[in-house]
């Protein structure tokens, strides 16, 4: 306990990594990278030894706009979540980036993590988030002529006609 009166005690500085808020969630470190610094933060993390992009996905928070985020991070409808591994140091790190509905786009990680190509295509296909400078941003799960993005929370639920081989009409 400090001898200073409460009014003079300052709050501890928030923990950051590369200038981004760093928290621990379920025992795993999580970095909240601002969208405008996403590419630079990911490059810095690669230099830190996080050489493997184990997973890249997205979340549509349409129905949970007031979720808890670190103080300086503004909630957006979409969030891209990247799980990185440092094989050398046997460490894992999650990166979360808020992506606005009005401009659902982020730079591609393909140049830094070539294995992210298919994962970014899946996020594009299911959520409609565009990864700029991606080498082949096309649908990967749905037919090319499919309209909409099925994992968006406002995607209308309907029936999909299924065609069975040799079935009677």
In this structure, is residue 51 part of a structural domain? yes
CATH code at 29? 3.30.460.80
In a domain, 42, yes or no: yes
Buried b (16+ CB within 10 A) or exposed e, 136-166: ebeebeeeeeeeebebbeeeeeeeeeeeeee
pLDDT of residue 161: 67
Residue numbers of the domain that contains 127:
13-132
The pLDDT assigned to 45 comes to 98
Residue 148 lies in a domain: no
Encode burial over 66-81: b for 16+ CB neighbours within 10 A, e otherwise.
Answer: eeebbeebeebbbbbe
* In a domain? residue 158: no
Query: Would 162 be classed as within a structural domain?
Result: no
Number of structural domains the chain divides into:
1
Residue 99 lies in a domain: yes
Residues of the chain scoring pLDDT < 50: none
Q: What is the rounded distance in angstroms from the CA atom of residue 155 to the CA atom of residue 167? A: 30
The verdict on residue 157 lying in a domain is no
**What is the reported pTM?**
0.86
pLDDT at site 62: 97
Q: What pLDDT was estimated at residue 156? A: 87
Residue 5 forms part of a structural domain = no
């Amino acid at each position: 306990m400090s001898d200073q009166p409460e009014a003079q005690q300052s709050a501890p500085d928030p923990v950051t990594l590369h200038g981004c808020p760093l928290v621990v969630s379920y025992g795993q470190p999580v970095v909240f990278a601002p969208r405008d610094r996403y590419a630079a933060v990911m490059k810095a993390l690669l230099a830190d030894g996080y050489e493997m992009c184990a997973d890249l996905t997205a979340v549509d928070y349409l129905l949970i706009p007031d979720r808890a985020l670190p103080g300086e991070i503004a909630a957006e409808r979409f969030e891209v979540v990247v799980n990185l591994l440092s094989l050398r140091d046997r460490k894992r790190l999650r990166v979360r980036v808020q992506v606005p509905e009005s401009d659902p786009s982020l730079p591609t990680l393909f140049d830094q993590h070539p294995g992210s190509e298919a994962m970014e295509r899946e996020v594009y296909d299911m959520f409609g988030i565009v990864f700029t400078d991606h080498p082949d941003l096309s649908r990967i799960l749905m037919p090319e002529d499919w309209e909409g993005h099925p994992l968006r929370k406002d995607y209308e639920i309907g029936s999909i006609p299924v065609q069975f081989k040799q079935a009677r009409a």
